[in-house]
Amino acid sequence: MTLNFDPRAKATALYHGEFRPMFIGGKWVAAQSGQVMQALNPATGETLATVPRGGAADIDAAVAAARAAFEGPWSKFSPYERQCVLLRIADLFEKHWEELSVSDTLDMGLPITRTLANRRRVIGMLRFYGGMATALHGEAIDNSIPGEIVTFTRREPVGVVGAIIPWNAPTAASIWKIAPALATGCTIVLKPSEDASLTPLLIAKLMQEAGVPDGVVNIVTGTGAEAGARLAEHPDVNKIVFTGSTLTGQAIARAGVTNLKRVSLELGGKSPIIVCRDADIDKAVPVAAMAVFVHSGQICIAGSRLFVAREIHDEFVRRVAEFAGKLRIGHGIEAETEIGPLINARQAGKVERPAGRRRLTADGRALQRRQLHRAHRLRRGVGQDDHRAGRDFRAGHLGHAFRHPGRSGRARQCDTLRAGGRYLHHQSRHRAQARAPRQGGLGLGQHVPRHRPGRAVRRHEDVRLWPRGRRRASARISGDEGSLDPNRLGVGAG
């Protein structure tokens, strides 16, 4: 991809080690404790900036500002006026998209070509929710109750929304939470990941420029155990929305019980890729490879389990390994980079941890510069019926196994805790469409038992604040735990 600007020049202009305050009640403030955190470039380990290490007191201040705005000036905005605000934000994002893309790349390592490619998705979300601001309404309902009685429904904003996002897509994740809140007339307190806090602060600046009233959008930087835990359990937060790991999602759901707040969870998983024997191998190989290797596997819908028909298994795996060996690893700011760094040393340690009795088919190269760790691996189970391939793999790992004639791909894809998505490669459109309904939602947005494939277990789910085309996320809640474990909020992204 050829860039029409110099990303390195923009990177130099963006961050040079300065302090970046957080955004509460329309003001740029430091943490009340005075503590700060370093925002590191994952590709080099260098400090991009320092940000406040917000805690419970800062969350309390942000929630109070959000509540005041919700009950004050923001409540007087009509749906049309909220729509205009969202469209102004979209215009500013379009104007500053290169700056936002460079910030994302520096903040969490995704190659610049991919952060730039998110433009249509992010700006499209802003304009979509701008349209929804005037499309959400109630209805009059006919009834059979005697007398002059009128029955109608009215949709009202929930109130103050708390949002906790991961580090793997700061711009998209921020808008995914902020835009629907603004469209419905809610106010929001956003807690970004401590590993990628800079872009959300840049977004807050654009929100202010677009005319969002003070207190409607608040950004509190800090750790999950300190700021995130308080936001999840805060009694004056009406709804909590979270994107990230399953374990952290369980903690969020338990925290919401304190005041019966609404909870929406979008959690990670191990998504299956099923390649049928009549699949077009030339087309399927790059899709199967990049389904897991893109962003070094640090995506909730990464296709980390590969099930291939026995007839084409050996050739397919060999070609995926060859494809992986040609991927260019490097600093995300370089236009030719295809695989960027892992977010931090902790995540790299998980990837490097031995994966039991598994054979390494292909291995990514480890660059010598700090934080540019091995980013992609291809493993297969020792046994050909190793249907749990991928269950214990980390970011950037792709497990592969035969499709055994005695166990269907559907049964094997359910032998895991959860899956974020599902991929099916087939030549026949009709057969593929016929197969999809039979697979239902198993492994997608729900939990199934590890040793009893196909039998669904108890689910916990909640209707989202905004309309979504995707299946609702859900979490398996432990029945003997009713309190929040703050340590869970330090778990990484989904």
Alpha helix (H) ranges present in 326-476? 345-352, 409-413, 429-439
**Three-class SS of residue 459?**
coil
Residues 402 and 383: their CA atoms lie apart, in Å, by 9
Would you state the pLDDT for residue 392? 38
Q: How confident is the model at residue 456 (pLDDT cuts 50, 70, 90)?
A: very low
**Three-class SS of residue 312?**
helix
320 vs 471, residue with greater confidence: 320
Q: Give the number of other Cβ atoms within 10 Å of residue 203's Cβ.
A: 27
Alpha-carbon dihedral 468, 472, 473, 476, rounded to 10 degrees:
160
First-to-final CA distance of the chain: 28
Average pLDDT over residues 3-18: 88
**Mean pLDDT across the chain:** 76
Q: How confident is the model at residue 472 (pLDDT cuts 50, 70, 90)?
A: very low
Would you state the pLDDT for residue 109? 86
CATH class name, domain 7-244: alpha beta
491 close to 248: Cβ distance less than 8 angstroms: yes
Q: How confident is the model at residue 436 (pLDDT cuts 50, 70, 90)?
A: low
Alpha-carbon torsion (272, 391, 400, 456), positive or negative:
negative
Residues 175 and 178: their CA atoms lie apart, in Å, by 5
306 vs 387, residue with greater confidence: 306
Angle at 202 between CA 213 and CA 253, to 5 degrees: 75
* Both tokens assigned to 320: 């995926």
Q: What is the pLDDT of residues 135-157, one digit of tens each?
A: 988 888 888 888 888 888 888 99
Assigned superfamily of 272-439: Aldehyde Dehydrogenase; Chain A, domain 2 (3.40.309.10)
Would you state the pLDDT for residue 431? 57
Asked whether residue 439 carries a pLDDT value surpassing 60, the answer given is no
Asked whether residue 417 carries a pLDDT value surpassing 60, the answer given is no
421 vs 267, residue with greater confidence: 267
Residues 18 and 90: their CA atoms lie apart, in Å, by 28
Asked whether residue 365 carries a pLDDT value surpassing 60, the answer given is no
223 vs 2, residue with greater confidence: 223
Q: How confident is the model at residue 126 (pLDDT cuts 50, 70, 90)?
A: very high
Average pLDDT over residues 56-84: 96
Local structure of residue 397 (DSSP, 8 states): E
165 vs 380, residue with greater confidence: 165
Residues 491 and 256: their CA atoms lie apart, in Å, by 18
Average pLDDT over residues 411-428: 50
Q: Which residues is 259 bridged to in the sheet?
A: none
Q: What percent of the chain has pLDDT over 90?
A: 39
Would you state the pLDDT for residue 421? 54
Q: How confident is the model at residue 304 (pLDDT cuts 50, 70, 90)?
A: confident
Average pLDDT over residues 93-114: 92
Would you state the pLDDT for residue 191? 97
Catalytically annotated residues? 266, 300
**Three-class SS of residue 134?**
coil
Asked whether residue 383 carries a pLDDT value surpassing 90, the answer given is no
**Three-class SS of residue 426?**
coil
Residues 300 and 168: their CA atoms lie apart, in Å, by 9
Asked whether residue 355 carries a pLDDT value surpassing 90, the answer given is no
Domain ranges of the chain: 7-244, 272-439
Would you state the pLDDT for residue 477? 33
Burial letters 129-152, b for 16+ CB under 10 A, else e: bbebbeeeeeeeeeeeeeeeeeee
Would you state the pLDDT for residue 430? 55
Asked whether residue 400 carries a pLDDT value surpassing 60, the answer given is no
Q: Give the number of other Cβ atoms within 10 Å of residue 25's Cβ.
A: 16
Would you state the pLDDT for residue 432? 56
Residues 208 and 219: their CA atoms lie apart, in Å, by 12
Asked whether residue 459 carries a pLDDT value surpassing 90, the answer given is no
Would you state the pLDDT for residue 92? 97
Residues 241 and 404: their CA atoms lie apart, in Å, by 39
Q: How confident is the model at residue 335 (pLDDT cuts 50, 70, 90)?
A: confident
